[in-house]
Chains A and B, each alone.
Chain A
């Protein structure tokens, strides 16, 4: 076994176990912290694929911003005590069915997708540095990139509008 394989196995074990712990732990704060560890190990997977930019972006966006806001809300809401709402049986059944469907779709995708690793080990080309990424993003994928940024902007403005207090007594 090569070192990279060992690291991959360890990372995968951490990812899976923390992902399950996120779902199963009773305390919402613990759950959020497990999710943080899960995100860290996923960043590790990106690093194994030699994509530094993606890894660090994943860290900044998910662990650095989103999960902190999550933790924030959980801490302020004080969900320490177990006050779960009992869900009706039909909802649970629906959840299980949709989970199975997604699993089937994902498995089919993974089976049918072409492995590209074999091709890119040998070319020795630089696929990952930010220079290359920037060129690719702003030349070939210019339009989708701009669309994504507009989508984010719209989402941001929408969030601001939603959270703004409506003026009463007009």
Chain B
């Protein structure tokens, strides 16, 4: 491995990290703004022009808050909880292809931290590990509300991971690869997977809401029943880490949705742009398109949050186990039949 690749990859990782943080920061502002707009209000507009500095002010406030520690026998685990939540939220961004190849200094630069051929499994793996942050934090708080919140979050995430994985299998049967890069290459122009797998997309979307603990599935921090849920005892920047991890998760899951189902960085007319304007300019547009899609999904998350009320816990479990899982299995069967028909047709020479 030559050193240029290491430098190139570290730069990409740093940039992706910075962008994720920035997006998470501004998602907090966007959340408050969108909430305000949907409720006929204006929202925060005092810090900076139109409230542009509000996230900084919020961060400053969180840093200067008193650090409260409950009387817990597990001080170490109390610290580890938010750290795990944050790091797992950031780890997933490693496999997302942010753009196609750039051609700079006589070499091709791939805008992706790493292109492993098990990228999708990696994402599911990291998602399943993400539960630990909530569980450990909630348990180490030594508080019944936190524990209940943690247990709820964990059981919810485990339940919806099953449906999520099954909905992805139908997609994989179609694409035939686990690498996110190849999946986005297959969706060039308008060949987006959402047109071929709408059911899979719907199930994945619902599961993504559940996995990021967003309303209508935010039972882990259901204020009316559990005070603050798993982060009841947290304060200051540890609390900030949990909140931040939620927004980072939202950003990453929006990116995954965009890459898997909405063509990633592809846009209609990309090959024309490559021919006429060159690779680099076409790519910059591609990155902008990807980010537009991601922002659209983030807006959708917020839009749904202020529209649909929270589920009851038994409704949540009913939806996960008795509707989404059978539905995704049916989807797999349908996809299998269609693929088989196409293969038989090509075999017989139709």
Contact = CB atoms under 8 A, between A and B. Distances in A.
Interface of A: 29, 33, 36, 52-53, 56-57, 59-60, 63-65, 68-69, 71-72, 75-76, 129-131
Nearest to A54: B118
A126 B180 CA distance: 20
A56 B155 CA distance: 21
A65 B127 CA distance: 11
A68 B151 contact: no
Contacts of B132: 36, 68
Main secondary structure of the interface of B (DSSP, over half): helix
B89 interface: no
Contact of B150 (A36, A63, A75): A75
B125 interface: yes
Nearest to B176: A131
B129 A72 contact: no
A60 B128 contact: yes
Contact of A75 (B129, B147, B161): B147
Contacts of A72: 135, 151, 154-155
Contacts of B74: 29
A56 B91 CA distance: 14
B121 A64 contact: no
B154 to A, nearest CB: 6
Interface of B: 74, 77, 116-118, 121-122, 124-125, 127-129, 131-132, 135-136, 139, 147, 150-151, 154-155, 158, 161, 178
Q: Which 8 A-B pairs have the closest CB atoms?
A: A64-B128, A59-B125, A60-B125, A56-B121, A56-B125, A52-B118, A129-B117, A56-B118
A130 B155 CA distance: 30
20 contacts: A29-B74, A36-B132, A52-B116, A52-B117, A53-B118, A56-B125, A59-B128, A59-B129, A60-B124, A60-B128, A63-B128, A64-B127, A64-B131, A68-B128, A72-B151, A75-B139, A75-B147, A76-B151, A130-B117, A131-B117
Given A33-B136, A69-B158, A75-B139, A57 B121 contact: yes
Main secondary structure of the interface of A (DSSP, over half): helix
A56 B135 contact: no
A130 B161 CA distance: 21
Nearest to B165: A60
Contacts of A63: 128-129
Contacts of B122: 56
B117 A65 contact: no
Nearest to B178: A130
Contacts of A131: 117
A126 B325 CA distance: 35
Interface centre among A29, A36, A69 (most CB of B within 10 A): A29
Interface centre among A56, A72, A130 (most CB of B within 10 A): A56
A64 B125 contact: yes
Contacts of B158: 65, 68-69
A134 to B, nearest CB: 10
Contacts of A57: 121
Contacts of B147: 75
Contacts of A69: 158
A57 B128 CA distance: 11
A156 to B, nearest CB: 11
